[in-house]
Each structure stands twice: as C-alpha cells, then as structure tokens.
Amino acid sequence: DGPCLRVGSTASRALAGWLRRLRDRLPGTDITLHMDVSAGALLKMVAAGQLDVAFVHEVEGCPLPVPDGLEQRVLVEREPQFVSMSLDHPAAASSVVELADLAEDRWMIDPTVDGESDGLRRVLGAAGLNPRVMHGDYLTAANLIAVGEAVAPCQPTSGPRDDIAIRPLRDDPLAVRLLLFSRPGGDGAEAYADLTAAYREAALRTVAYRQWLTHHKSPLLHAPAA
C-alpha cells in the first residue's frame, strides 16, 4: 500500500481548500476525511492512531479534553462567531447586531457540538438574557432561520445565502479557538501550513469577515512570507 493521510475535522469552510492543498503537496498519497461534530471524538481518534491530524474548534470557556501525548497547533486564537437570522429580521438592518436585539428570538444550536450549548448559555446569561433555545442539526436550523423561526451562531466564514442574513455581534461575545492536533513526529507541521493558507483564503472570501479582520487589523490579512 502507498502512503496515506487520515484527516479529521469539524465543519469548516476552509476544509475544501485544505484538502486541495494536501493533495497538491502529497501526490500519490491516499487522503481520507472523517467528519464529526464532536471535537472530543476526533481527538480520541488521533490519540488512538485512527487519524493522523484533526482540525477542531474549541468553544471559549469550554476547554476540550485533550488526550495525553498530542501535539497542538493554534490556527486562530479567537475566531468570533457571527449570528444568522432571516433577511427580514429587524436586526438584519444593522451591520453589527446587539445581543439584546435577539432577546425575543429562539436560538437554535446543535447539542452534539462539544461546548456549544454551555458556551451560548454562558454568554446569553452574562448579558442578562434567557431566550428560548432549540436543539437540532444546522441543516434544519438553516431552514428555520430563513423563515424567521430561529437565529443561530455561525462561523464568520459562512458563505452568503439569498435567504439568510449573517452579521457580527457587538464586541464579539461568542468565540472559538481553532486548533490542529496530531501525534508527535507526524504530519502536523506541513498540514498546519496548508490549513493556515486555506483558512486565510476562506476568511478573505467572505465580505463580512474580511471587514471584521480589517477593523481588527488581523495578521490574517497579510500572507506569510514564502
């Protein structure tokens, strides 16, 4: 058998570009992908030798249980989470949304995503809000959001849709840390470089996130020196 690279990942707009770069750099390598909404499950697979690398997000305030012996590389220390809502939501008229403007909405989250429920409730509670929270997968959520039945946190790299508005939240109360894990001596360093380039590409492709990065003078705006 030839060389193989077993990649694990939670959902990300950077994934397609990352896989393309891995295939370009490793011709002849069998690259497989294992997706999971649970970052913790992916880390266990890396530790058990079932995956070579795993790209995951860690909800702020909800540290992931990391098995011993894994190498961790930080892709983004604090990625803001935006919010998705229907186009005719009153808050969608603003370029930046206040949490208080969403106090009467139902929030929808996927309870199988590690830390997501706890992280959202902590942020809403700190803002003095106690909205209704529904549980479901994000494909279902998108359909409910489009018709005004729910709002939901979303990645800032989320692509535009003609039936949903995506806006940053004032002061970025919701955030995640983006991490790449591997075993020592493995493919972590090269995979990290490819992932960094892919994430930057995805981030700059999204108008609202690019504006956010510009406002915050993010180093992501500048390609690393070759």
Ordered domains of the chain (ranges, CATH): 4-78+175-221 (3.40.190.10), 82-167 (3.40.190.10)
Mean pLDDT of the chain: 93
Instruction: Please report the pLDDT score of residue 91 as a whole number.
Output: 96
Q: What is the DSSP letter of 221?
A: G
Is 39 exposed, middle or buried, given 0-12, 13-18 or 19+ CB atoms closer than 10 A? Answer: buried
Q: Is the pLDDT of residue 147 over 80?
A: yes
225 band by pLDDT with thresholds 50, 70 and 90: low
Q: Enter the tokens of residue 77.
A: 């220390």
pLDDT at 13 (0 to 100)? 95
Strand partners, 175: 80
Quick one: DSSP state of residue 106?
P
Report the C-alpha gap between 110 and 144 in whole angstroms.
13
* Neighbour tally for 69: CB within 10 Å: 9
The predicted-structure confidence for 78-95, as pLDDT tens digits, reads as follows: 999 999 999 999 999 999
Check whether 219 has a pLDDT greater than 60.
yes
Question: What is the phi/psi pair of residue 21, to 5°?
Answer: -65, -40
Instruction: Give me the count of residues in the chain.
Output: 226
pLDDT per residue as tens digits for the range 167-200: 999 999 999 999 999 999 888 899 999 999 999 9
Helix (H, G, I), strand (E, B) or coil at 195: helix
